[in-house]
Amino acid sequence: MGGRPAKNGLTRLELKIMQVIWRRGASTVTDVQEELEPALAYTTVQTMLNILERKGKLERELQGRAYVYRAKVSEEKAVGQSLRDMIDRMFGGSSEELVMSLLKSRQIDAKRLAKLTEKFSRGAEEEK
């Protein structure tokens, strides 16, 4: 499991950059570069922003002499896509297998899962 996601997913660096855009809103290369830890070269950030634009995750607009980048996908949608990709790759598309793996590896216990299920059910009822 390296840094290579499916064609629609985000690498770790791409995700870090998207998180800056989601947090700050419209940003230039310099804006993004200033927020990243560890610091990256301007050209590296510029290249990554252009890759994200080609992937359809960002849009850009020339303002003066600099491009300003804006998110085309919400954080919620990107997380959902990444989660779906992981479930497809690692659990054969089965969300149930993911939950069973979390239980088996003690990442979550049955009590906490029951509380989350109850909380989710209440939220779903309120949306109706």
Chain segment 75-111, per-residue pLDDT in tens: 999 989 889 989 999 999 999 999 999 999 999 998 9
pTM for the whole structure: 0.74
Q: Are 88 and 120 in a shared domain?
A: no
Same domain? 62 vs 108: no
CA separation for the pair 49, 71 (Å, rounded): 10
Q: Is 18 exposed, middle or buried (0-12, 13-18, 19+ CB in 10 A)?
A: buried
118 and 72: one domain?
A: no
* Number of domains observed in the structure of the chain: 2
| 34 plus 86 within the same structural domain | yes
Q: Which residue numbers in the chain have pLDDT < 70? A: 1-8, 128
Task: Indicate whether 2 and 44 sit together in one domain.
Answer: yes
Q: Please, what sign has the CA dihedral across residues 7, 58, 82, 5? A: positive
Domain that holds residue 104: 94-128
Residue 71 sits in the same domain as residue 108: no
